[in-house]
Structure 1
Amino acid sequence: MGDDNNWLWSYVETIPSDTGEGQRLIKELLTQLELAQWASHDSFGIHLAAEEAIVNAIKHGNKQDPNKSVHVDMRVSKQEVMIHITDEGPGFDPQAVPDPTLDENLDVPSGRGVMLIKAYMTDVQYNEQGNSVRMTKTRSN
């Protein structure tokens, strides 16, 4: 994916480790998806994935440390949405997260976010350290 995408909206901000700030960004993202006329089922998935990624960055990555922040880069075009979230935590190994659909993990709270993100987004990539996730969604017809 090159930068030839005609982004209608791009937004870059570094927010404090505060879920309220995360919610504010997600609200803005949803407004932009609506303006770009994304279908509600796509918007729903993007909303869930963005929320999981931002909340995970704040709670798990930065452990809600007020001195740490989360870098958010979001872009919306008619065909694609790109969301890139980076926290200041030590990172994690997405491969090592327990599969929440297995019986023995049904009571384990972790892993659902990672699975949700993969389920709803077209492409999901974590950096080597595991403290940054870049996800894209291509509009379904």
Structure 2
Amino acid sequence: MPLEFLHTPDPPPNLGKPLLEMELPSVLPEKDIALNKLLADLHERNFIRGDEEDMKLRLVLDEALVNAIKHGNKFSERKKVLAGLYETPTHWSLRIEDEGEGFKPSDVPDPDDPESLLLEHGRGIVLMKSIMDDVRYYRNGSCLVLLRKKG
């Protein structure tokens, strides 16, 4: 069964109060700086509790930022990646947006297909969905929103 996730040409809705927003060039060393800033902010706000949760969110953020830099912006230093942390009374969310063309859901390998196990890519969305409460793609896939309920 193909992987299901929200994928729309629409812009994302209001994600709540912006807590941290940053813009970074599409180079991998900048990814680590952004990842560490986002994780530090998540810890400071007590949105992350414990080493295991830190490790899982580090993995999700790394996957999202690498995808934006590598697949979205194709390592073009002229293109930027926007990363942000937002909060509502019930949840917090991460937004990662690139300047790429997006992707088609039909291009995402079916995780239940045994042939997919041999592919070098295609497991990132499955990974993110297993850790976050919701994974949504806007602007045809160039804007990723990861949601997590509080508490």
State whether TM-score is above 0.5. yes
Instruction: Look up the match of 2:19.
Output: 10
- 2:65 pairs with 54, 58, 70, which one? 54
Give the CA RMSD over aligned residues: 2.5
Structure 1 Cα separation of the partners of residues 41 and 140 of structure 2: 30
- For residues 77 and 128 of structure 1, the distance between their equivalents in structure 2, rounded to whole angstroms, comes to 22
Which whole-Å CA distance do the structure 1 matches of 2:44 and 2:24 have between them?
24
1:91 to 102, 106, 112: 102
Q: Which residue number corresponds to residue 53 of structure 2?
A: 42
Contact 2:24 2:34 in 1 (8 A): no
What whole-Å deviation, never above 9, does each CA across 1:92-135 have from its counterpart, x for those lacking one?
02353003453211121221111111111111110141111111
Picking from 21, 30, 39, the partner of 1:21 is 30
1:106 is paired with a residue of what secondary structure?
Answer: helix
Question: Could you say if the C-alpha distance between residues 128 and 30 of structure 1 is closer, same or farther in structure 2, counting changes exceeding 3 Å?
Answer: closer
Deviation at 1:30, TM superposition (A): 1.8
Aligned residues: 137
Secondary structure in 2 aligned to 1:129? helix
CA distance in 1, matches of 2:139, 2:43: 33
For structure 1, which runs of at least 5 residues remain unmatched after alignment?
Answer: none
Distance between the aligned counterparts of 1:53 and 1:17, measured in 2?
Answer: 13
Percent identity at matched positions? 31
Aligned to 1:109: 120
Q: 1:13 to 1:2 in 2, by over 3 A?
A: closer
- Structure 2 distance, partners of 1:64, 1:75, is 26
Q: Which runs of 5+ in 2 are unaligned?
A: 1-12
Match of 1:134 in 2: 145
